[in-house]
A and B are shown apart, each in its own frame.
Chain A
Amino acid sequence: MCGIAGLIHRGKSSNVGNELQAMLQALKHRGPDSTGYALYADNDGENFIMRFKVGENVGEGSSSINEDESVYDKRKELVDEMLKNLGAKVLKEEKLTPYSYRYEMKYDDDLMDFSKKIESIESVEILSIGKSLELIKDLGDAKVVLDRYDLGKVTGTHAIGHARMATESGVDIKSAHPFWGYPFSDVSVVHNGQLTNYWNNRRVLENKGMRFMSECDSELIAVYLAEKMRNGATLEEGMKDSLSGLDGVFTYFVATKDSLGMAKDTMAAKPLVLYESDDLVAMGSEEIAIRSILPHEIDTYDPFDGEVKVWQI
């Protein structure tokens, strides 16, 4: 059981960091192990934001092995060297925790090749690359992660998030949601459910050159959709295809720079509540998530089985 939440402000920007925190905190009982945010922020849109980690959070509850912080610094130096070799120009760098960084940079070439080379450095994982996407995930509940990464002041148009209860894989950042839609900039996915044809699909997709960073079944959705889009499908076409291509029970959200979509499996085995108005769309695993940002009386509904919806921002 995990909790997912998302919101879209139509035609304006808002404090999506705090709003998503309230929604995910209301879903904490569905997943206390880790929390992730994919915030589509009001960045200038000129440069890429790359968020990456050079190690794991080894705090309480973590399933990762403890490493010396000097190892993290060494890996960071290797990343800097690789960026220089690739011709990426780093404009601003921020050390957010001992194991995670946020870089603002200029880069004009193929992101797939770029990501492969960066991630060839031991234990380095790109959490996201995008001009609007700020993808943050770490152990702890929504409030803990918000405070740790100072997300309270982030404004933007839309966001999706995830409160995780680890079932299929370890309690670590690499298995936490959201997953970046490698190698596409600004694509992120959150998922509630279990996929039963993970290994079959993974083998097929790996043979096509796609990359998996964890053993979490949910990562398959991001890779699956990315591969469909790489072959020319629209986001909505890829999502509709996933209803038969992915086996198991799922409700998932996928967001891009200018759209946000939801899909529900054909058995409707995982919950989702939706609220739509002229200026706001809010969705969550439970109504209390929506109520946390909309205290007044509202009309909500459950999407039916096999339903796919995509909203443009």
Chain B
Amino acid sequence: MANIKSNENKTKAQSMGLHSEVLTGKTQQKFFNPDEAENFYYWGTYDVDFNKRIDLDVNDLDCKEANKKIDELMSQGYGTIVIKNPQGKHSLGVGVLNKLNLIFEGSLGYFGVGSIDGPTVRINGRVGWSCAENMMAGKVVIEKNAGSCFGAAVRGGDLICKGSVGARTGIDQKGGTIIVGGDAGAFTGFMMQRGRIIILGNVGINLGDSMYDGTIYVGGKIGSFGSDAIESPMTKSDIDWIKRKLKVAEIGENFDVSKMTKVVAGKKLWNYDALEPTEKKGAI
């Protein structure tokens, strides 16, 4: 385990508000002790083989039955699952906690692929409200449009929509990256706390309203800035990072990234950096 106290960059860490953080919490000791790693079991996960592929038609299944079937197939080692006829059903593909190639040939309803931790998901249609809510890790690519609350409370991974998205994209975002090829609605980045949002098109009113932290990059017009959201200069590292992310997302190949607008928190409503590390952990 890394010893923070002996870190040579102590001065820099102190300036970032990390100076007294000691990773000796219960979680660290209980679950991430290397001595106990062999006995560690992550409930609900499976070792799957990506070359083992199967089609699953969910036309006559409700969301509970469909999700149970996906779980069964993963337990049998299938690593590539193609879902046929999702027909806009809600809550499909939620809670997948391991690596998996999950392909939806059609559109999803509300709360699609929520609380996932690791799978690579491709949706060849549209998604409804709150797609990938609370996603922890992995990659989700949506070929068409998405509804409101896209990527609500996302904590990690890449969430990509090639079309346009509704209102409150990235609401309460805590990490990861959200990339939108088209336009986004009102309140994009509402109360976001960490992570980054890239919108290549226009955004609606109240962009970044009440954001605590994090960064939003906008390629088009901005309806209006929300409370405590301010513009910040684009740096070379911003441009390089966005280019890299867009390449991974397979969109915006000829997009002029240097002309994007960078939006960050003014930190007048809430400033994490002024918090003690223990408080910061609780807040985040």
Contact = CB atoms under 8 A, between A and B. Distances in A.
Given A291-B87, A295-B87, A301-B145, A286 B187 contact: no
A300 interface: yes
Interface in B144-202: 144-148, 163-168, 183, 185-187
Contacts of B208: none
Contact of B129 (A267, A271, A298): A271
A266 B186 contact: yes
Nearest to B164: A301
A247 interface: no
Nearest to A298: B107
Nearest to A26: B88
Main DSSP-derived SS at the B contact region: loop
B125 interface: yes
Contacts of A297: 106-107, 125
A268 B145 contact: no
A306 B166 CA distance: 12
Contact of A288 (B89, B167, B204): B89
B186 A268 contact: yes
Given A268-B186, A271-B129, A305-B167, A290 B88 contact: yes
B129 A300 contact: no
A22 interface: no
Interface string A284-307: 001110110001011111101110
A271 B128 CA distance: 9
B186 A288 contact: no
Interface residues of A, number: 21
B145 A267 contact: no
Contacts of A290: 88
B109 interface: yes
A301 B144 CA distance: 9
**Which secondary structure dominates where chain A touches chain B?**
loop
B126 A287 contact: yes
Interface in B53-92: 87-90
Interface size on B, as a range, is 20 to 34
Contacts of B239: none
B205 A287 contact: no
A273 to B, nearest CB: 7
Nearest to A286: B109
Contact of B148 (A268, A295, A298): A268
Contacts of A302: 145-148, 165-166, 185
Q: Interface centre among A291, A305, A306, by most B CB within 10 Å? A: A305
A295 B87 CA distance: 7
Contacts of B165: 302
A132 to B, nearest CB: 31
A268 B88 contact: no
A267 B187 contact: yes
B110 interface: yes
B114 to A, nearest CB: 16
Contacts of A268: 148, 166-168, 185-187, 204
Interface in B86-109: 87-90, 106-107, 109
11 contacts: A267-B187, A268-B148, A268-B166, A286-B88, A286-B110, A287-B107, A291-B88, A297-B125, A301-B145, A304-B186, A305-B167
Interface of B: 87-90, 106-107, 109-110, 125-126, 128-129, 144-148, 163-168, 183, 185-187, 204-205
Given A286-B90, A287-B128, A288-B89, 11 more contacts: A268-B187, A273-B147, A286-B109, A295-B87, A297-B107, A297-B125, A299-B145, A302-B185, A304-B166, A305-B185, A305-B205
